[in-house]
Amino acid sequence: MTPKQLAFQTAVNGIIPKLACRNMGGYFFENSASCVSAITDLMEDGSSISWGGSESIKECGLMDAIKSGNYILIDRLSAKTPEEGRELYAKTVLSDYYLMSSNAITYDGELINIDGNGNRAACLIHGPKYVLVIVGMNKLVSDVESGYKRVRNLASPANAKRLGRNTPCFHTGKCGDCLSDECMCSHIVVTRRCSIPGRIKIFFVAEELGY
C-alpha cells in the first residue's frame, strides 16, 4: 500500500473500536475487490438487497457483483412512475440488506449524511434488516462540523454537476445554503449510535470512492 493508504489503515484501526462502542461494526480492506468479496460472502443467496444510488457502490464494483449473483435486487432507479417508486421504496424498507455510502465519517465513528428526498437517510435510521456502508478514504473528517462542510462544499457541488441540478452549488462550486426546488440538502442526519447492535456495518476501503 502507499503511505496514504497506510495512514488510512492506521486511522481506521482507531475508528473500529469506537464504532463498536456505538453498536456498529467496522472492517478494513486494502482494495475494492477484497471488500466486494467480503460483502457478497456475507449476504446469503436469495437475500433481498436495495441501495441508495451510491457512486461509491458503483465504483467499487459491488453493484456488478450483485447483478451477476443470486440475489433479489430492489432498484429504485428502475421505477418508471412515481407510483412504482413508492412501491419499490416500500419493498426497500423491508429488504434484508441496504447498501449505501456515507457522505462523511468522523474519527470518533459518527456518520454524517445529507439527503434531498430523505430515502437514504430514512433507511439508514430504520427499516432494512442490515445496512452495509462502503466508505472510501476520502470520506474521513475530524468532526461533525467538518463533515457538514465536506458534504456541502465537495460532495454536493459534484453531485449537482452529475445530476444537472439547478442549484447555487452547481454554478459556484460551493454551498449557497439554498432553499431551491432542486436542493439536495433537505435533511441532515448524524448517526452517533445504532440502536440494534450490529445492524450497521462500515466497510472501509483504502481507495478514493464517490464524492
Convert the chain into a string of H (helix), E (strand) and C (coil). Answer: CCHHHHHHHHHHHHHHHHHHHCCCEEEEECCHHHHHHHHHHHCCCCCEEEECCCHHHHHHCHHHHHHCCCCEEECHHHCCCHHHHHHHHHHHHCCCEEEECCCEEECCCCEEEEECCCHHHHHHHCCCCEEEEEEECCCEECCHHHHHHHHHHHHHHHHHHHHCCCCHHHHHCCCCCCCCCCCCCCEEEEECCCCCCCCEEEEEECCCCCC
pTM: 0.93
Please say whether the beta carbons of 71 and 47 come within 8 A.
yes
The enclosing domain of 137 has a CATH number of 3.40.50.10420
Determine the average pLDDT of the residues in 152-179.
Answer: 90
Domain count, the chain: 1
80, 151 Cβ separation under 8 angstroms: no
Q: What is the mean pLDDT of residues 41-56?
A: 92
Among 21, 34, 42, CA closest to 61: 34
Domain membership of residue 67 (yes or no) is yes
On the question of pLDDT at 118 being above 90, the answer is no
The residues, ordered by sequence, that sit 6+ positions from 72 with a Cβ below 8 Å of its Cβ are 46, 47, 48, 49
pLDDT tier for residue 139 given thresholds of 50, 70 and 90: very high
In a domain, residue 177? The reply is no
Examine residue 200 and state whether it is found in any structural domain, yes or no.
yes
Whether 164 is in a domain gets the answer no
In-domain check, residue 169: no
Q: Which amino acid is present at 180?
A: S
Report the pLDDT averaged over residues 127-135: 97
Residue 149 belongs to a domain: no
Residue 89's pLDDT is what? 87
The C-alpha atoms of residue 66 and residue 86 are separated, in whole angstroms, by 23
Segment 127-136 shows an average pLDDT of 97
Please tell me the predicted confidence (pLDDT) of residue 117. 85
**Over residues 95-108, mean pLDDT:** 97
Whether 126 and 138 have beta carbons less than 8 Å apart is answered as no
Comparison of pLDDT for 40 and 89, the residue scoring more: 40
Residue 52 maps to a domain: yes
> What confidence category does residue 17 fall into, taking pLDDT thresholds of 50, 70 and 90?
very high
Residue 178 counted as domain residue: no
Report, as an integer, the average pLDDT of 46-75.
Answer: 91
Tell me which residue range forms the domain holding 47.
3-142+189-205
